[in-house]
């Protein structure tokens, strides 16, 4: 069974030979090829090489294009800062939509227009060419609140929920259109799964999540399904209070950060929901030892039950000891769902 077959079979409820393994790597993958992270973010060939080398070295079942949260925002014209050795970051004090009225004239950039989104799409095409027969290929988009925060400034957006809810809805609607266009081109380029990152959703409570965020996340998920794609949802941070909502989106995979008990996700979501996760990536994967990693992922597996995919909670930290990551991977390779 190839890696790609393994993941797709597992998502469809068919038997597999071992647990699928899909930890998120960004800076760690770049380190495997000794490249600058600036190049990993801006040159799709570097990203592809880093992902493939990492997937092969550690036995991952997939590769992905996630490098930083600022692809779409940069193409919209947001002010971003590039660093040699860490992710591209939004410059919040120069937020593109610091002036709300600018939304009315903001154009959706062409994902194939030669910008950062296009670079991500080129990565997918190269993945398809190099490993498409063996590995699952995962693209990435930002979710409604994450992208809105990138365009408006996260501190300001948080207060907009109270100050101007109508503007928030207008901004989310813009983001949905932007992200669906980006997702479509990624699927056309060969993405089997679209990763959906909506980190800021863990900062709002269940009331704001259900009233504002969930409806737009649902539009995105439904839109991607209509294109024939699958969705892996990942919200960094503590999503414990919004687990029921995450479960109702209908995502193929719900990927939980370590603060959300995976046992509670299992109780609160439909029985067939594929859960991915979720040991503590810093305290255990980076700072622990192989035995601690094995114990932690075994506990995650017990708590999650089936269906389950092995992951790292959040991004594998750059300086994670390789033997610790090997321990995580070995668990997947030697266990059945």
Residue closer to other proteins, measured from CB, 247 or 317: 317
Around 227, how many Cα atoms within 13 Å sit in the side-chain half-sphere? 24
Q: How far is the CB of 169 from other proteins (least distance, A)?
A: 15
Q: How far is the CB of 137 from other proteins (least distance, A)?
A: 27
Q: How far is the CB of 304 from other proteins (least distance, A)?
A: 23
Give dist(CA 210, CA 247) in Å, integer. Answer: 12
> Contacting other proteins (CB under 8 A), which of 203, 292, 295, 306?
203
Give dist(CA 85, CA 14) in Å, integer. Answer: 41
Q: Is the peptide bond before 63 cis (omega within 30 degrees of 0)?
A: no
> Contacting other proteins (CB under 8 A), which of 33, 108, 112, 158?
158
Quick one: 252 exposed, middle or buried, by C-beta within 10 A (0-12, 13-18, 19+)?
buried
Residue 166 contacts other proteins per CB under 8 A: no
Give dist(CA 128, CA 276) in Å, integer. Answer: 24
Which region among 157-165, 171-179, 269-277, 326-334 touches other proteins (by CB under 8 A)?
157-165
Residue closer to other proteins, measured from CB, 15 or 162: 162
Q: Between the CA of residue 313 and those of 164, 255, 293, 304, 310, what are the distances in Å?
A: 34, 8, 12, 13, 9
> Contacting other proteins (CB under 8 A), which of 34, 205, 228, 271?
205
172 and 216 Cβ atoms separated by less than 8 Å:
yes
Q: How far is the CB of 229 from other proteins (least distance, A)?
A: 30
Residue 146 contacts other proteins per CB under 8 A: no
Residue 317 contacts other proteins per CB under 8 A: yes
> Contacting other proteins (CB under 8 A), which of 282, 292, 295, 306?
282
Residue 208 contacts other proteins per CB under 8 A: yes
Q: Which residues contact 272 (CB under 8 A, 6 or more apart)?
A: 13, 307
Residue closer to other proteins, measured from CB, 30 or 141: 30
Give dist(CA 96, CA 39) in Å, integer. Answer: 24
152 and 167 Cβ atoms separated by less than 8 Å:
no
Quote the tokens at residue 136: 């699952």
Residue 34 contacts other proteins per CB under 8 A: no
Q: How far is the CB of 18 from other proteins (least distance, A)?
A: 29
Residue closer to other proteins, measured from CB, 9 or 292: 292
**Which of 10, 28, 16 has the alpha carbon at shortest distance from 281?**
28
Residues in the chain: 337
Residue closer to other proteins, measured from CB, 27 or 328: 27
Residue 199 contacts other proteins per CB under 8 A: no
What is residue 86's DSSP assignment? S
Task: Using CB under 8 A, list all residues that contact other proteins.
Answer: 27, 81, 83, 85-86, 89-93, 154-155, 158-159, 161-162, 203-205, 208, 241, 282-283, 286-287, 317-319
């Amino acid at each position: 069974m190839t890696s790609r077959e393994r993941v797709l079979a597992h998502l469809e409820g068919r038997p597999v030979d071992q647990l699928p393994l899909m930890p998120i790597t960004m800076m760690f993958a770049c380190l495997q090829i000794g490249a600058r992270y600036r190049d990993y973010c801006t040159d799709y060939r570097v990203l592809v090489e880093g992902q493939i080398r990492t997937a092969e070295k550690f036995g991952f079942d997939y590769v992905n294009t996630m490098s930083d949260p600022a692809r779409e925002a940069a193409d919209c014209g947001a002010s971003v800062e590039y660093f040699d050795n860490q992710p591209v970051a939004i410059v919040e004090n120069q937020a593109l939509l610091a002036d709300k009225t600018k939304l009315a004239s903001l154009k959706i950039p062409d994902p194939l227009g030669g910008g950062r989104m296009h670079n991500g799409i080129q990565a997918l095409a190269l993945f398809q060419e190099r490993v498409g027969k063996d590995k699952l290929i995962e693209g990435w988009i930002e979710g409604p609140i994450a992208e809105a925060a990138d365009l408006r400034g996260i501190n300001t957006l948080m207060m907009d929920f109270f100050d101007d809810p109508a503007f928030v809805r207008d901004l989310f609607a813009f983001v949905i259109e932007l992200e669906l266009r980006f997702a479509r081109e990624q699927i056309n380029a060969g993405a089997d799964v679209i990763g959906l990152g909506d980190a800021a959703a863990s900062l709002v409570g269940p009331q704001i999540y259900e009233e504002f965020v969930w409806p737009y996340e649902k539009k995105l998920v439904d839109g991607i399904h209509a294109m024939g794609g699958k969705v892996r949802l990942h919200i960094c941070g503590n999503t414990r209070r919004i687990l029921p909502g995450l479960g109702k989106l209908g995502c193929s995979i719900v990927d939980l950060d370590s603060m959300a008990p995976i046992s509670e996700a299992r109780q609160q979501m439909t029985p067939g929901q594929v859960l991915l996760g979720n040991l503590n990536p810093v305290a255990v994967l980076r700072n622990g030892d192989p035995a601690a990693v094995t114990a932690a992922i075994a506990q995650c597996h017990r708590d999650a039950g089936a269906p389950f995919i092995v992951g790292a909670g959040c991004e594998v930290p750059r300086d994670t000891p390789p033997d610790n990551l090997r321990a995580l991977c070995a668990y997947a390779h030697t266990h059945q769902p």
